[in-house]
Structure 1
C-alpha cells in the first residue's frame, strides 16, 4: 500500500491552521516565516513558491528575500542579522543549495537557533543528538517519522530501522529520531559492505541516498515499511522526464507492506513540518 503523504500533510496543515488562529486571538502573535533564496535555480524557486503558498494558506505571514547569484557572503550574513533582530520574524529559512562561493555552514550558523526552522543549526542538532527537548528538528526527518507511524502506529519500539544515507540533513537526524522511538538503528552508506543484506534486515527502511531506483526488491524484507526520501529526475528513452525515488517502486511495491510514493510521499510532509516548526518558534515568543 501507499502511505499518502499528501493527505497526511493536509491533515497536519489543517491542525496547524487552527492553532495559528488560536495563537493570534489569545496572544496577538501571527507566526511569520521569511525565506531567503540566492540565485535563479528553477527547482529552488518552485520549492520556495510552494512553501510560501502553504504558509499563507494556514494563516501565517510569509516573506521572501531574493538575492542575486553573485551575492557576497557578507551581504547574506547581514540580511540574516537583520532577520535575527526582527521580533516579528519567527522563522528563518535559507533555501539550499547555495551558490558554491557561499559557505553553507557559516550561513546556517548565522541563523538564530530559535528561528532556525530547518533545524540545521549546531545548537538544534546537538539537542537532537542529546535527546533534549526545546530544539527545532529538521523537517524531512520529522516527516519520515510521522509517515512511518501512520502505517505502523505510534509505538515503533524494538523495530529494526535501516537508514541508507548519512547526511546532516536527513540520514543522521532521522536515525536519531528513530533511536528516540526505541528502534534499533543501522546507518548504511556508500562504504557499507553487503549493503543489500543489511537492508534486508530492516523492518523500516529509510532510503536517502540520492540515486534513482537504487533499492531493488531483493534488498527488501517481506512486509517492510519503506520511507523513500529520494527525489530524482530521470528521462526515459522516449524523452519523457519524471520524478522517481531512491527505491525502485515498481519492483518493491508488491513486496513491502507500505511505501511512500515519489512524488506524493515525503515531499509534502517536509513543508508541513516546516510550518509546524514555524508555529513552535512563534509560540516560544508568545509564551515568554
Structure 2
C-alpha cells in the first residue's frame, strides 16, 4: 500500500508557483484574489484563513471581503459586479455555503467566468464537460494532479465516485471520463452502493460521513481517494473511509488529513496564477 501524499506534492507545487509569482512581480504584476465571506460560519472562516495563508506564502495578494449574514442578494451581486470590473483583480472566490436567503446559483453566475477561479460558473463547467480548457474546481483538479504525479493510469479503469455535488463529484466524474475511465456516480438515492464499489478499480468518496467505506466494500488492490473530512468530538480529523481496515488491502490510498486537502488549496493558487497569465494575454 502506497500513501498518496498530497501534503508534500502541494508543497512542491507551492514552491513552483511562488517562483512564477516572483518572476511576474519583477515586471510589476502581482496576482490577486478576492475572497467573499458572508456571515460568520466557523468552518467557512477556517477555510478562508487557510486560503489567505497559502496566498501569502506564494506572494499572491489575497483581499478578504467580509459581508454580514443578512446582506441582500442584490447587494452581494452588485459587489461582485464591481470586483468583475477591477482590471487588476485576477480571481473572485465566493466562500460556500451562503445563507439560505441567498440563491447560490445566481451569485456564482454573477462572477465573471474569466475570474471564476473556483470553476463554478456554468460557462466553466460547460467547458469541463465538453473537454475544453477552462477553470476546473480546485478539489477535482487537485485529485487529478495527485493521480498524475503517481503515474496512476485512468484509461479503461472502473471508477466509483460517491457524492454527486457540483463542487466535487460531477466535475471529478467529467475529468475522469475525459481520461477514458468508466464512471459510476453514486449518491443518496443509489441502491446498493457496495455493488459499485466492489467492482471499482478506483473509489473516490466525498460525503463527510466517517467510516462510510469499509473493508468489505473494497476489492483487493483498489485505489482509494478519500475526499471527506470530519472532525470528531475527540478533535481527531478523519475521512469517509475506515482507514485502519481498508488501507492494508489497497494499492494506493489518500490519508486524511494530508491527502486531498492540501491539493485543493494549491490548485486554487494555480488557477489564480493561470488567471493572471490569461489577463496578460488578453
Interval of TM-score (by shorter of Structure 1 and Structure 2): over 0.9
Question: Partners in 2 of 1:130 and 1:186 — Cα distance?
Answer: 18
Does the residue aligned with 2:225 lie in a helix, a strand or coil? Answer: strand
Does the residue aligned with 2:248 lie in a helix, a strand or coil? Answer: coil
Equivalences for residues 1-288 of structure 1 within 5 A: 1-25=2-26, 28-133=28-133, 135-151=134-150, 153=151, 155-235=153-233, 240-288=234-282
- TM-score when normalising by structure 1: 0.94
Moved more, 253-262 or 120-129: 253-262
Coordinate RMSD, CA, aligned:
1.3
- Mind listing any 5+ residue stretches in structure 1 that lack a counterpart? none
Write the deviation string for residues 139-186 of structure 1: whole angstroms up to 9, x where unpaired: 0001111222333x0642211111111111100000011111121111
Question: Partners in 2 of 1:146 and 1:17 — Cα distance?
Answer: 18
Q: CA deviation at 1:16?
A: 1.0
Does the residue aligned with 1:106 lie in a helix, a strand or coil? Answer: helix
Q: CA deviation at 1:250?
A: 1.3
Question: Partners in 2 of 1:214 and 1:111 — Cα distance?
Answer: 35
Does the residue aligned with 1:254 lie in a helix, a strand or coil? Answer: helix
Moved over 3 A (4+): none
- TM-score when normalising by structure 2: 0.96
Question: Partners in 2 of 1:3 and 1:128 — Cα distance?
Answer: 25
Question: Partners in 1 of 2:72 and 2:33 — Cα distance?
Answer: 23
Does the residue aligned with 1:98 lie in a helix, a strand or coil? Answer: coil
Does the residue aligned with 2:203 lie in a helix, a strand or coil? Answer: strand
